[in-house]
């Protein structure tokens, strides 16, 4: 894999000082076909030499791949400097896959329910390291990959420029050719970067990890609340929705913690008048400290949400791969110290 392969065609053309046509051919080879740079067709050798001189060689090494009974497949990759990151291939409708990418090795935000938080932050990934995750999974898959979510290890908006560079490389028609509307970027609520993202008008889907509508409760689950409190976050959500459309809110459900009627009422008050889509998902906590709601608790919460958020789409996400360390950071935590 080449450092320059983590860019879309236009960026590659500008940075390498080559024609857009040549950049598209190179992108088509390296990202589109997963081939070596020298396999780019109809590109002069002198141009390939110029690009090769600018590129930083490196590759991801697959350490482990595990399959869950429900079709999820999780990969553990080693980066060139020995750090490890995880990627998950998610089956969709038995016809194609979505891939969940990591944007950092570890994470600094310390969410209470997340295994990655226990690893701490080692560093942010470069764009090519994110693209390389996708290419490795694609090479291992019989079905097409039609979507990407930046919801793996790390906080994407604390690696903003590299994540956006990778996202544009993945939606490049000359490269991976993934519809930009099927690329989602998730954040725990880094408000200044949400506002920047809104102002810049990017075409990818914005997802925000909410998880509680009461400040004290969210602070206990997500320390990011201390720096970017709910009132500021909700204003940023409102601004984005007004300019760019409905915002997807992720909500990790924890039994006895954030799925009561009072939580639904707080959500209704907090989100009143804002076009959002709420995606509840059961917690997957290997430590056993937090448990997912049972069906009765979920049904009661769902009914309360319908009352408090009338007209708001509430779509329960499936928490997959629970038998094979599918939640963020679990596989890396298990392998740390090998």
Q: What is the pLDDT along the chain (338 residues), one digit of tens a residue?
A: 456 657 899 999 998 899 999 999 999 999 999 888 889 999 999 999 988 887 777 889 999 999 998 899 999 999 999 999 999 999 988 899 999 999 999 999 999 999 899 899 999 999 999 999 999 999 999 999 999 999 999 999 999 999 999 999 999 999 899 999 999 999 999 999 999 999 999 999 999 999 999 999 999 999 999 999 999 999 999 999 999 999 999 999 999 999 999 999 999 999 999 999 999 999 998 788 999 999 999 999 999 999 999 999 999 987 765 555 545 556 665 555 55
List the beta bridge partners of residue 64: 76
pLDDT at site 253: 98
- Give the contacts of 304 (CB within 8 A, at least 6 positions apart): 261, 263, 264, 265
- Give the contacts of 173 (CB within 8 A, at least 6 positions apart): none
Query: Per the residue annotation, which of 86, 129, 155, 324 is the catalytic one?
Result: 86
pLDDT at site 39: 92
Asked if residue 96 lies in contact with residue 126, where contact means CB atoms within 8 angstroms, the answer is no
Residue 155 a catalytic site member: no
Residue 228: name the closest of 237, 185, 52 by CA: 237
Query: Per the residue annotation, which of 107, 171, 207, 328 is the catalytic one?
Result: 328
Enter the pTM of the model. 0.92
Separation of alpha carbons 49 and 26, rounded Å: 12
Residue 107 a catalytic site member: no
Q: Does residue 211 sit in helix, strand or coil?
A: coil
Alpha helical stretches, state H, 20-101: 20-27, 45-54
């Amino acid at each position: 894999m080449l450092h320059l392969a983590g860019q879309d065609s236009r960026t590659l053309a500008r940075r390498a000082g080559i024609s857009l046509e040549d950049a598209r051919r190179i992108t088509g080879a390296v990202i589109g076909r997963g081939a070596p740079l020298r396999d780019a067709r109809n590109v002069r050798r002198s141009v390939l030499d110029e690009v090769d001189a600018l590129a930083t060689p490196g590759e991801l090494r697959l350490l482990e791949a595990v399959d869950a009974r429900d079709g999820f497949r999780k990969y553990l990759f080693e980066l060139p400097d020995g750090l490890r990151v995880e990627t998950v291939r998610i089956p969709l409708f038995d016809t194609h896959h979505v891939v969940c990418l990591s944007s950092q090795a570890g994470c600094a935000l310390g969410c209470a329910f997340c295994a990655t938080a226990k690893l701490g932050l080692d560093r942010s990934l470069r764009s090519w390291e994110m693209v390389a995750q996708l290419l490795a999974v694609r090479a291992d898959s019989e079905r097409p990959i039609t979507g990407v979510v930046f919801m793996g290890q790390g906080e994407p908006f604390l690696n903003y420029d590299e994540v956006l560079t990778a996202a544009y490389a993945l939606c490049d028609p000359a490269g991976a050719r993934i519809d930009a509307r099927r690329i989602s970027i998730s954040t725990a609520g880094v408000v200044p970067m949400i506002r920047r993202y809104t102002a810049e008008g990017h075409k990818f889907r914005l997802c925000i990890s909410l998880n509680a509508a009461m400040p004290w409760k969210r602070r206990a689950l997500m320390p990011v609340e201390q720096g970017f409190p709910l009132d500021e976050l909700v204003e940023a959500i409102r601004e984005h929705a007004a300019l760019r459309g409905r915002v997807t809110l992720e909500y990790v459900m924890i039994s006895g913690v954030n799925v009561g009627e009072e939580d639904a009422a707080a959500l209704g008050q907090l989100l009143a008048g804002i076009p959002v889509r709420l995606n509840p998902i059961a917690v997957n906590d290997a430590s056993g400290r937090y448990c997912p709601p049972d069906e009765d608790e979920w049904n009661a919460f769902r009914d309360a949400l319908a009352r408090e958020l009338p007209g708001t789409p509430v779509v329960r996400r499936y928490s997959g791969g629970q038998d094979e360390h599918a939640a963020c950071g679990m596989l890396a935590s298990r392998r740390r110290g090998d």
